[in-house]
Structure 1
Amino acid sequence: MTPLPEITGLLTVEFTLTIYGLRCVHASSSDHALRSFLRSSPLQAAVMAMSGIEVNEEVVTTFAKLKNTSGAGRIKMIEMRISDSGKEVIVESSELRADGHTPEKEKECWEAFLAKLPPKEPRWFVYDYSYKKDDGLREKILFVHWAPDEAPVKKKMLAASTKEAIKKKLTGLHVIVEASAMGDVSFEEVDAKVRASSK
């Protein structure tokens, strides 16, 4: 482990760290107290835990299928999580688009998707979203970072720290949705965000 830099004197650290409901604001401490906080906090544990996490190749190949396949057999949704070993991001599940899917059915599909969100575990999802606009059919690939308020703090911070590594592997994402509560991913909220991205 890389040693923390020496900190001397009375320090006032003022910052806002927002990671899906976790906020740290106005922390004041002596050097000893601050070093103790950094070493014992969930933040330090999360940083240590994420150091070896990689994105499994199946994540990349499954995303490529979603992006490049059309018609029958097109993937609608990919669910990802950190493996039990804590060393990589893996595909937990994926679902194909239903036969006869149309933009008019998107709300129904989205509501079914919401029912799959674990209430106390972070997850990442890629979702193929379709909708109609004035000039016809549109499709957007959504990346959903789900870190519910009731998830353990360490898991939320680890998920947030790993998010960028996943996004870098998945070229072609259109809309990023970050959520800590069901209200953040309501159909109305997400549909408005998707349509705003098309302006």
Structure 2
Amino acid sequence: MANSASGMAVSDECKLKFQELKAKRTFRFITFKINEHSQQVVVDRVGQPGETYADFTATIPADECRYAVFDFDFVTDENCQKSKIFFISWSPDTSRVRSKMLYASSKDRFKRELDGYQVELQATDPSEMTLDVVKARAL
């Protein structure tokens, strides 16, 4: 079912992979991209459970928009091990205007398909999604 505002559908694979990450912790992260030809959001890449946040950020293209989810493990000030799933919207200033508009207009519908993330992060520059930023948002 396409979104009337942007015309973007969400592939079933996106929802299935997200459910696996959330329920089974099969993946550390998933990146998603908009396929303009098929007019839908598709899975771009999945990260294995042993991969780090640095591995994740290395997969994000510097000049192309992406959506992503990252399963972030951390220890609280009370020394409790916790995990939060981040939804990250990456829209760099250097990407095409059309691409930024497509991602912006499709984001709300796409987020509704991913039921269960805890923290949303929007970034236009790598400094807005550093590990320190993620840690601060997780607590």
Q: CA deviation at 1:84?
A: 4.1
Distance in structure 2 (CA, Å) of the matches to 1:185 and 1:62: 22
Q: CA deviation at 1:96?
A: 1.7
- Counterpart position of 1:193: 137
Counterpart among 57, 63, 67 of residue 124 in structure 1 = 67
After TM superposition, the structure 1 = structure 2 runs for residues 114-193 of structure 1, keeping only pairs within 5 Å, are 114-133=57-76, 134-193=78-137
Structure having greater relative contact order (Cα 8 Å, sep ≥ 6): 2
Q: TM-score, normalised by structure 2?
A: 0.91
Q: Which amino acid aligns with 1:119?
A: A
Distance in structure 2 (CA, Å) of the matches to 1:139 and 1:157: 31
Q: Over residues 87-134 of structure 1, what are the superposed CA-to-partner deviations in whole Å (9 max), with x where a residue is unaligned?
A: 100001112201xx8xxxxxxx11221112111100000110000011
- Counterpart position of 1:26: none
Q: Which amino acid aligns with 2:57?
A: L
1:52 equivalent to 2:4? Answer no
Distance in structure 2 (CA, Å) of the matches to 1:95 and 1:189: 20
Q: CA deviation at 1:86?
A: 4.8
1:113 equivalent to 2:68? Answer no
Q: Which amino acid aligns with 1:93?
A: R
Classify 1:149/1:137 alpha carbon distance in 2 versus 1 (closer, same or farther; 3 Å): same
Runs of at least 4 residues off by over 3 Å: none
Q: Over residues 124-159 of structure 1, what are the superposed CA-to-partner deviations in whole Å (9 max), with x where a residue is unaligned?
A: 001100000115110000001000110011211110
Q: Which amino acid aligns with 1:66?
A: L
Counterpart among 16, 38, 48 of residue 96 in structure 1 = 48
Q: Helix, strand or coil: the match of 1:129?
A: strand
1:68 equivalent to 2:68? Answer no
Tell me the matched-pair count.
135
Q: Helix, strand or coil: the match of 2:28?
A: strand
Q: TM-score, normalised by structure 1?
A: 0.64
Q: Which amino acid aligns with 1:161?
A: S
Q: CA deviation at 1:183?
A: 0.6
CA contact under 8 A between 2:6 and 2:106: conserved in structure 1?
Answer: no
Q: CA deviation at 1:57?
A: 0.7
Distance in structure 2 (CA, Å) of the matches to 1:79 and 1:115: 11
Q: Helix, strand or coil: the match of 1:119?
A: coil
Q: Which runs of 5+ in 2 are unaligned?
A: none
- Taking only the aligned residue pairs, the percentage that are identical comes to 28
Q: Which runs of 5+ in 1 are unaligned?
A: 1-47, 102-108
